[in-house]
Structure 1
Amino acid sequence: MIHIPKTEFASRIERIRESMKAEGLDVCFVYGDEYRRENLRYVSNYWPIFERGALLLPLTGEPILLAAPEGEEVCREMSAWQDIRLIPDFACVTVPDVIAYPQANYSSFRDVFKELKIRQAVRRIGIVGMDAMSHYVLETLRNSLPDCELLDANSMLFRARLTKSENEVACLKEAARIADAGYRALLKVAAVGRTELQLAAAAHEAAYAEGAENIVFCLVSSGARVGTIIGRATNKVIEDGDMVMAALAVQYEGYIATANFPFVVGTMAPAQRELINQLIEANERALACLKTGAPLAAPVRAVKGYFRELSVDRFDLYPPMHGCGVAEAESPYPDEQSEGTFAAMMTVNTDISLFGHPGGSNRIEEGFVITEDGYEPMSALVRDLCRQWKETGSISIE
């Protein structure tokens, strides 16, 4: 099975500790929940359900994983770390009621930090995910540590996640393989008379059958609804000549790959064909800029420059590339003014879109690993669909 071994989690912790020393932090507190899971999953492999969690990372000794009682067993099943404590403030995120868990062996922020202070100094605490946690949790944490300085430490994890290991790339490739299977199933059922929800159902079924641990999103909109940009599937019936905007993001072992290719069901209008041509050409121009040492801004400038040449830039709503990994969109997320360069083993998605175009609205999205002399595609399907379109002006799914 493709996965991230515990030894890799240990090496991540050591790299983060080096960053902590450089920034003068005594402890790092990495928060996560069902909705903002990426940083906590990266450092512990734990992904809360309904609840909240955090990894408490001191400068020495094994990290302490903080969880909630209902998810304790799944936490123990998933976690790369053995020291797990239950915190009442991390219980169910969706209700204001205090939930009684009579069998829970609770600790508290105050007790856990008191224990840490026996080991080492605890004065400056870096919080990763401060922007994601509730005001209540943050204030409870502050009140438990009146003699400590709490600092935003998001940048440490963003830097740590910028380049990937061989194991991470393998997980992303597997996620892409599964996303391809789901998207292929969606394309096969796309026909006049089907609903958007039926397309989404086909994608979900195929992706889970192939080993997806989660569908992060499955966006399906058709006809005039493509203008919603990120529309959820509805019971709208697909009609002849409808453009379809469908994006499928699949999670495997915490890593997320996305597939999106623009297509029309039935009779295609010239303006729709023009839109698809422009998106595919823009995508190819972005790919020509990908290699180790190339400017991060280069693919953005290439795409936006091309759209300006065609006078369609007013339909271009956001930068055409972002990183991918334990989040569907993560750093780098460059614009035309970005500094810095691509590095080997960065993983990125092209995410090139035009919305409100005379031919409709759509995007093309696929993932790549940056190599020394270029890139390696993660999605075989989107690459093949691009090739088919350029050669024949159409696509087919066997």
Structure 2
Amino acid sequence: MIELIPDAGISQQRLDAMYNYRLERIRAVMAEHNISLSILTSPVNLRYAVNFDEYLMFQSHIPTAHLFIPLEGPVTLFGASQRHHANVDSYQGSRFATPFDGGLDLSRQSQRIVADIERFIRDHQLHNAGSRIALERFSPLISQQLVSKGYRLTDGEALIEQAKLIKHPTEIDCIRHSIAVAELGIHKMHTALQPGITENQLWSVIHQVNIAHGGDWIEGKMLASGQRTNPWLQEATSKVIEAGDMVAFDTDMIGPQGYLADISRSWICGGGRGTAEQRDAYQHAYDEIHHNMELIRPGVSFSELSEIAFARKKEYREQRYVCAFHGAGMSDEHPKIYYGEDWQGNGYDGVLEENMVICVESYSGVKGGRDGVKLEEMVRVTANGYEKLSTYPYEESLLK
């Protein structure tokens, strides 16, 4: 039986205030960008907007629900099977614009959705001069029909990412709770790590803890051992973990209330000092994480963070992680702050603000080497710097 961690007194009243804040954030961004109607399908963004929590992974690849958020007027949810969702004023039947539900010719179903959109705009007088519709990932047939009818479209995903940036205090507490659940799972994984266990068996431990607490899912199977830790991004398999193997993982856990716990640690199976290669990689990742956390403060730009980030040793540069920092909330979120080597091709600018949540990343592994180390922390941007939200201890025996 999995013991349960208390939810830190997050009452329904506090949750309701958080739901109101999230909807207000969306509408504030809509007003800023002259958007009269937002239409959402992403399960993460439906959760953010109205706490939609039905078959979220199914919704991610066979969307059966979509949400209309007008700048002013009734929030309308199409296709929900339940009627408890926050701030939804009206429920309508589903319009199935997927091959699974609507067949291989989606033209008729797309026309019905477009007719719904036009009726909604007309009934609520949303077609103001110069206004736009923010649309998430529908069939391109829908976008094409709307454009042919003269509607101006913009990307709904970018709109919601902007809204998500600044967290409500209850969001921060929900993130703390997800982290606490994840760290209980990490502790149980650490205890279960013995020679002879497989990567999949070890990884299943944190899943059980998450589900026992009402968590949602884990984004991947980011656990590897031994030579499979180098290079990174090799997911868990049936490989048997042996004594002396480095074991590295990244939780990527969507926990209770839909909030992310994104923490990485690396251990030696059986403990001990490990090899010189293992200790050097661990120290390098540890130094990077701690240097880069100290750079976090409101007002610092993404480009500046990229420029002043930890100076990685030459031997660890080629296999650097995909970013040095990234946002977090209900999943990995904007921004993604690249290493200097990747900035020219991929980087974009912006500024850190108070109550953003940022993940600080490091993967350290020499190309052609046996072992790699993955470490990651979650921090909140405070008025004067940062607050570290993740707390799981490091392996002192691997630090020089």
Say whether the fold is shared (TM-score over 0.5): yes
Which segment is superposed worse, 261-270 or 167-176?
261-270
Secondary structure of the residue aligned to 1:367 is strand
Say if 1:128 and 1:153, in contact at 8 Å, map to a contact too: yes
Change in Cα spacing, 1:194 to 1:302, as seen in structure 2 (3 Å) is farther
Alignment of 1:376-391 (within 5 A): 376-381=387-392, 384-385=393-394, 389=396
Say if 1:183 and 1:259, in contact at 8 Å, map to a contact too: no
TM, length-normalised to structure 2:
0.81
Q: In the aligned structure 1, how far is the partner of 2:33 from the partner of 2:309?
A: 37
Q: In the aligned structure 1, how far is the partner of 2:228 from the partner of 2:102?
A: 36
Secondary structure of the residue aligned to 2:263 is strand
Q: In the aligned structure 2, how far is the partner of 1:95 from the partner of 1:229?
A: 38
Secondary structure of the residue aligned to 2:35 is coil
1:347 aligns with 2:357: yes
Q: In the aligned structure 2, how far is the partner of 1:238 from the partner of 1:94?
A: 40
Say if 1:178 and 1:210, in contact at 8 Å, map to a contact too: yes
Secondary structure of the residue aligned to 1:380 is coil
Q: In the aligned structure 2, how far is the partner of 1:176 from the partner of 1:351?
A: 16
1:87 aligns with 2:94: yes
Alignment length, in residue pairs?
363
Say if 1:291 and 1:371, in contact at 8 Å, map to a contact too: yes
Q: In the aligned structure 2, how far is the partner of 1:160 from the partner of 1:115?
A: 23
Specify the code of the residue in structure 2 equivalent to 1:332. Answer: P
Say if 1:182 and 1:248, in contact at 8 Å, map to a contact too: no
Alignment of 1:1-398 (within 5 A): 2=10, 5-32=15-42, 37-49=43-55, 50-51=58-59, 52=63, 53-67=65-79, 72-74=80-82, 76-90=83-97, 97=103, 108-122=113-127, 124-129=131-136, 132-133=137-138, 137-140=139-142, 142-143=144-145, 146-227=149-230, 229-251=232-254, 252-266=256-270, 268-305=274-311, 307-308=312-313, 310-327=314-331, 329-335=332-338, 336=340, 339-357=349-367, 358=369, 360-381=371-392, 384-385=393-394, 389=396, 392-393=397-398
Deviations 1:223-281 (A, max 9, x none): 22223522222111111221112121222212111121122214621101110011001
Secondary structure of the residue aligned to 2:222 is strand
Secondary structure of the residue aligned to 2:334 is coil
Which segment is superposed worse, 282-291 or 352-361?
352-361
Deviations 1:148-201 (A, max 9, x none): 232224332222111111011111111111111111111111121111111012
Q: In the aligned structure 1, how far is the partner of 2:319 from the partner of 2:116?
A: 55
Specify the code of the residue in structure 2 equivalent to 1:164. Answer: K
Per the alignment, residue 109 of structure 2 pairs with none
Secondary structure of the residue aligned to 2:337 is coil
Per the alignment, residue 102 of structure 1 pairs with none
**How much has 1:333 moved relative to structure 2?**
1.3
Q: In the aligned structure 1, how far is the partner of 2:366 from the partner of 2:93?
A: 50
User: Segments of 4+ in structure 1 off by > 6 A?
Assistant: none
Q: In the aligned structure 2, how far is the partner of 1:24 from the partner of 1:45?
A: 25
Say if 2:178 and 2:261, in contact at 8 Å, map to a contact too: yes
Specify the code of the residue in structure 2 equivalent to 1:116. Answer: I
**How much has 1:144 moved relative to structure 2?**
6.4
**How much has 1:208 moved relative to structure 2?**
2.6
- Unaligned 5+ runs, structure 1: 99-106
Percent identity for Structure 1 against Structure 2: 20
Deviations 1:273-300 (A, max 9, x none): 1100110011110011112223334544
TM, length-normalised to structure 1:
0.81
Q: In the aligned structure 1, how far is the partner of 2:201 from the partner of 2:226?
A: 15
**How much has 1:304 moved relative to structure 2?**
4.5
